[in-house]
Amino acid sequence: MDTTRRAVVFDVGSSSTRVGLSSDQTPTIFPTLVTKSDGQVRVGGPGETIRVQDMMIANFDHVTKIWEHGFELLKVDPKEHPVFLNKPSYPSPTAQTEKMAQIMFEEFGVPALHLNYPAVMALHGHGSDCGLVVDSGFSETQFYPVYQGHILKWPVTRGLRVAGDYLTSLLLDVLQKKGACTYTTAEQIKEKSFYVSGDPETEKPTPETCVLEDANVTLLEEKFKIPEELYTSRLECCGIHEYVLKTLYKCDPELRPTLFKNIVLTGGNSQMPGFASRLEKELIKSLPYYKTLHNERPRITVSAPNVAWIGGTKLASLPTFLDTCMTMADYDEYGPTLVNTKFF
């Protein structure tokens, strides 16, 4: 293998897939959807649309199509490039990561493979290896304390089931009562108009006209009231700030202030204006109940779009990257189980 070859970096999310070479500044992005027609599965084109969510467990054929499509878009031969993949869930079931390795080495013939979690990569893309990552993407808002580049397992709880998909569905319900509206239209309107209010009790939203297929509708309080689900959801007993504090309080007391001072927001849903400032406000309000952090103020940063992919490219550009990979020779010698000792 030519060790100077750039790696192909994937961040496959439930909503979008980001792919590019480690030397690229921005990824190519496409929806994580496959279509099925005439018994064939492909990416794009007409047919029954399937979202490749929880993909590894549900259907490896589908995610293989997504990877294949990524290689095709970049016009690269997978046999000639190391590959960086994200692990889709935490903790990743070992059978799942083994299957990922098996497909990469046996079907695509990649020379070397590296796996890591998007939360760790988001922090890496942000330039640090210790912090609390709040990933509010498509299906869940998740909380990961990361120390020296590893997720601390014990404090990770089930995520908050409020994220981009849920907010879009709530808006879609509202809009469909007023006119014909598709999920995609509702998502576009949401991304343009939604924000997180600093004080929902006194908020005075400005009206906004949205164009539906057969009607014009005016959005007003929905613009900030639907995102309030992050704090007072019908699905959950507590809000996002309480999830942050619960996660912190499961961490070692000595580590809490460090994590509290590096809270990194990632995922498309966190791009809503006001997301970080409201979270800061709610955390400070809750602090008297959390005594050991009394004198600390949180420091919250909204990361750049696609930061997990950017983190992957940074890692894959290090001169030592190939030393951290599982190679085809390793795979031939030890088999797919090595992937779980190498990338834990």
Ligand X SMILES: Nc1ncnc2c1ncn2[C@@H]1O[C@H](COP(=O)(O)OP(=O)(O)OP(=O)(O)O)[C@@H](O)[C@H]1O
Residues forming the site for Mg ion (CB under 5 A):
13, 137
Nearer to ligand X, 105 or 144 (CB): 144
Among 6, 10, 14, 310, binds ligand X (CB under 6 A): 14
Q: How far apart are CA 11 and CA 22, in angstroms?
A: 12
Task: Judge contact between 338 and 325, C-beta under 8 A.
Answer: no
Q: Interface with ligand X includes 271 (CB under 6 A)?
A: yes
CB of 65 to Mg ion, least distance (A): 19
The count of other CB atoms within 10 Å of the CB of residue 339 is 28
Q: Interface with ligand X includes 96 (CB under 6 A)?
A: no
Task: Judge contact between 108 and 324, C-beta under 8 A.
Answer: no
By DSSP bridging, strand 33-37 and strand 40-42 are: antiparallel
Q: Interface with ligand X includes 197 (CB under 6 A)?
A: no
Dihedral, 73, 78, 84, 85 alpha carbons, nearest 10: 70
* Residue written as token pair 């939604």: 194
Among 8, 15, 132, 236, binds ligand X (CB under 6 A): 15
Nearer to ligand X, 108 or 309 (CB): 309
Nearer to ligand X, 168 or 197 (CB): 168
- Which residues share a beta bridge with 326? 113
Among 13, 27, 125, 312, binds ligand X (CB under 6 A): 13
- Tell me the CA distances in angstroms from 261 to 56, 130, 257, one per residue in order: 34, 10, 6
Residues in contact with ligand X, counted by CB under 6 A, come to a total of 19
Contacts of ligand X in 106-165 (CB under 6 A):
137-139, 164-165
CB of 12 to Mg ion, least distance (A): 8
Binding footprint of ligand X on the chain (CB under 6 A): 13-16, 137-139, 164-165, 168, 187, 190-191, 194, 267-269, 271-272
